[in-house]
Structure 1
Amino acid sequence: MTGRRTVLKGVLAASGAAAEPGVLAARPLAGRAGPYTTPVQLRWLGVAGWEIVIGGDRSILFDPYLSRMPCRDRGGMLDPTLPLRPDPAMVERVAAQHLAAAPELVLLSHGHFDHVADVPQLVARPAWRQARIRTVCDETVRYLLTAMGAPRSRMDDVIQVRGGEYLQFDGYTVEVFRSLHSQLADHGCFAPGRRLTPPRRPTVLGDLVEGETLAYLVSVDDGPSVLLMGASNFVERELAGIRPDVVLVPMSSHGAVHRYVERLLTAVGNPPLLIPTHHDDLDTPLVANPARLAASVQPTAAKELSRAAASGSRVLSPRHLRPVAVTTALS
């Protein structure tokens, strides 16, 4: 894929429902127009989690967190002392009803509960037993997954990274970038830390520590490229000069990060399509009624992105579990 980006047409559609028109944008294919040879769908799983569906039947998961377990104290603050209690029934229900296929890759940005707590169950699903599932993560997350009981067979397939890797797969590539975690108002971070050896089995939210935060650029052959981030911060010099077609922009706490949104969009060339993510409340169940689930989303996230977006960019607000289809390039 070479050349400058042009406007794409796509849809925000629910399975079995009428398509709702949207406007996407991406880098054009060299010397041609029309439908991508490889269409891509993006499905928001809530928090920072996404499924990328390539060609209709190949899946990549990013930070899949489906349990939505209680995580706040009475004052509404994240409480690292609360028990770590994934919801196996909810994880299985969402996976069975909404995920397209067994994932080829599970990309993990860092070790916090709302990014990795459900991964051991997902990679061990009986329905996916025959599929090869490779997990891409840093050393800390690898140890945490082991401590949470991820199957040994799956852990043998972990690709341990630290940023800088450029990985070739069948039909797409994955670039790994060093990144940073969001900062709270006082410039701190929830559950910081690293693990250099396997810890005891985690029992509270704070046992799942950050590790090294990573970002990923998934570039599909004859399809769009998608930048995935798990937190509202980044290393500017790492991302400067890349030109993704779609950026999934985390919009959790970033008031302590200098001009976060503006610097990010400038660093990656004012991408054609911006989609806010990590902007819901972490604990409203994914099977809640639509009005309640919609109310869990911060309404200011898309507005903030729109204010910062360049004139050639579009902002699309995702809906939980409903796919965004990136299908057509027009030159």
Structure 2
Amino acid sequence: MSQSRRSVLQGVLGAGAAGLLVGGAASLPAARPRAVAKGAELGLRWLGVAGWELSFAGRSVLFDPYLSRMPYADADGGLDPALPLRLDTDAVDHVAEKELAGVPELILVSHGHFDHLADVPHLLSRPGWSGRRVRTLCDTTSRHLLEAMGTPAHRMADVVAVSGGDHLQFDGYSVEVFRSLHSRQQDYTSFAPGTRDAVPARPRTLGDLVEGQTLAFQVSVEGGPSVLLTGTSNVAERELAGARPDVAVIGMSGYSAVHGYPDRLLAALGSPSLLLPCHHDDMVTPLGSSGISGTSSSDAVTALTKAVERQGWAGGTRVLTPRHLELLDVTDAAV
């Protein structure tokens, strides 16, 4: 997008986001369940953890839709790969029926871990989605895991393995795929690393859903804004050369072992108009609970805001605090 067009979008965000505070908790525009506001070019709805719905022109795209929010921690509060997968299909169905803008035509999966992939097979098996084509883009490992988890054969035919460098054209929008990296734990290791070159036995534990190749995606709506979606707190910034998203969704889970994050990520992006943190809630409080907003880390917003200031973008790039399941409308007056 040209700089003049980006300036228009920044101005619209400034006018249309009254009451939204940079770097602090604030009210988002009122949620409009199951529809994008009239005239809105793109609606963004945070599904918790790293998950998002993008909705535009009566259509829907999902990114890392994890809704089960199952127990994951050991006695010390760390990720326990031996814990069983405990999918909450009622919670998944409730969000799919009551909160989403509609049946998605595309699901994007950043990598194979449970908090990104685990609910996709159930979503693809929903009777309410029958008769509607739903494509899924993911890496090869995630594709094998989806099949191992019982994704219906007719849905597997529309699961497309992609890799960094792919740039795919859909009706009215494109999806660019970037190679990315998974965040590191404090001891510099990664949770559940590994790949699957063939369909494994059915996964039973959190650790059975291995990472594979981590990907980021940029969705660009024709005549409208582009959105970069990252599901982890790490970056291969050279892979993002030339990416100039208008909106960037930034993974903000633990990154103390990753040098210069998020500054290196922001330096590669070219001053997006809007930054949205994600993967910064507690991952277990059920969606719809009255206290779920309080589980989001305010430190994530503060860290992004300070990174914006270090880039010299203050006043040109907003950092907003999303709320679970509420719709944020981004309207470009040039459309």
TM-score of the superposition, structure 1-length normalised?
0.91
What is the total number of aligned residue pairs between the two structures? 311
State the match for 1:204 in structure 2: 205
Structure 1 residue 2 displacement after superposition? 3.7
* CA deviations over 1:213-262 (Å, ceiling 9, x no partner): 00000000111100001101111110122110000011001111111111
Q: What are the residue-to-residue correspondences of 1:272-283 with 2, within 5 Å?
A: 272-283=273-284
Following the alignment from structure 2 to structure 1, what is the Cα–Cα distance between the partners of residues 99 and 159? 25
What residue is the counterpart of 1:313 in the other structure?
Answer: 317
Shift of 1:276: 0.5
Higher strand proportion (structure 1 or 2): 1
- After TM superposition, the score normalised by the length of structure 2 is 0.89
Equivalent residues of 2:235, 2:264 under 8 A apart: no
Question: In the alignment, is residue 171 of structure 1 matched against residue 172 of structure 2?
Answer: yes
Match of 2:153 in 1: 152
Aligned to 2:22: none
Q: Partner amino acid for 2:46?
A: W
- The alpha carbon displacement at 1:328 in A equals 2.9
Partner of 2:292: 293
Cα deviation for residue 62 of structure 1 reads 0.2
Q: Which amino acid aligns with 1:49?
A: G
Number of the residue aligned with 2:24: none
Which of 26, 50, 53 does residue 51 from structure 1 map onto?
A: 53
Kindly state the Cα deviation for residue 96 of structure 1 after the two structures are TM-superposed. 0.9
**What code does the residue aligned with 2:226 have?**
S
- Could you tell me which residue of structure 2 aligns to residue 79 of structure 1? 80
1:328 to 328, 332, 335: 332
18, 41, 44: which one aligns with 2:43: 41
Residues 40-85 of structure 1, C-alpha deviations (whole Å, 9 max, x = no match): 0000000000000012x10000000000011111211110000001
Question: 8 Å contact 1:83–1:204 — kept in the other structure?
Answer: yes
Query: Counterpart of 1:29?
Result: none
Question: Relative to structure 2, which stretch is displaced further, 183-192 or 7-16?
Answer: 7-16
Runs of 4+ in 1 over 2 A off after TM superposition: 1-4, 8-17, 35-38, 328-331
1:117-165, Cα deviation, whole Å (9 max, x unpaired): 0001111111110110000001000000000001110000111111110
RMSD: 1.8
Q: Which amino acid aligns with 2:53?
A: E
- Give CA deviations for 1:63-114 in whole Å, capped at 9, x if unaligned: 0000001111121111000000101111101111101111110000000000
Matches within 5 A, 1:130-279: 130-279=131-280
Q: CA deviation at 1:38?
A: 6.4
Cα distance in 2, alignment partners of residues 127 and 2 from structure 1: 41
- Structure 2 counterpart SS, 1:140: helix
CA distance in 2, matches of 1:329, 1:261: 30
Give, as a single letter, the amino acid of the residue that structure 1 aligns with 2:238: R
> Which residue does 1:303 correspond to in 2?
302
Residues 58, 103 of structure 1: 8 Å contact kept: yes
For 1:123, the equivalent position in structure 2 comes to 124
Rounded to whole Å, the distance in 2 between the matches of 1:177 and 1:240 is: 10
Contact 2:31–2:328 (Cα < 8 Å) also in 1: no
Structure 2 CA distance for aligned equivalents of residues 257 and 73 of structure 1: 23
Shift of 1:3: 4.2
Matched letter for residue 97 of structure 1: K
CA distance, structure 2, for counterparts of residue 86 and residue 14 of structure 1: 30
What is the letter of the counterpart of residue 31 of structure 2?
A: S
What is the distance in 2 between the residues matched to 1:146 and 1:75?
A: 33
Identity %: 56
Q: Distance in 2 between matches of 1:129 and 1:323?
A: 26
For the structure 1 residues 36 and 261, does the alpha-carbon distance in structure 2 shift closer, same or farther, using more than 3 Å as the test? farther
Can you give the 5+ residue segments of structure 2 that lack an aligned partner in the other structure?
Answer: 18-27
**Matches of 1:38 and 1:83, distance apart in 2:** 41
The 2-side partners of 1:113 and 1:327 are apart by: 33
Gap runs ≥5 in structure 1: 18-34
The Cα of 1:294 is off from its aligned counterpart by: 1.4
Q: 2-side partners of 1:43 and 1:103: how far apart?
A: 13
How far residue 15 of structure 1 moved from its aligned partner, in angstroms, is: 3.1
* CA–CA distance in structure 2, aligned partners of residues 304 and 319 of structure 1: 18
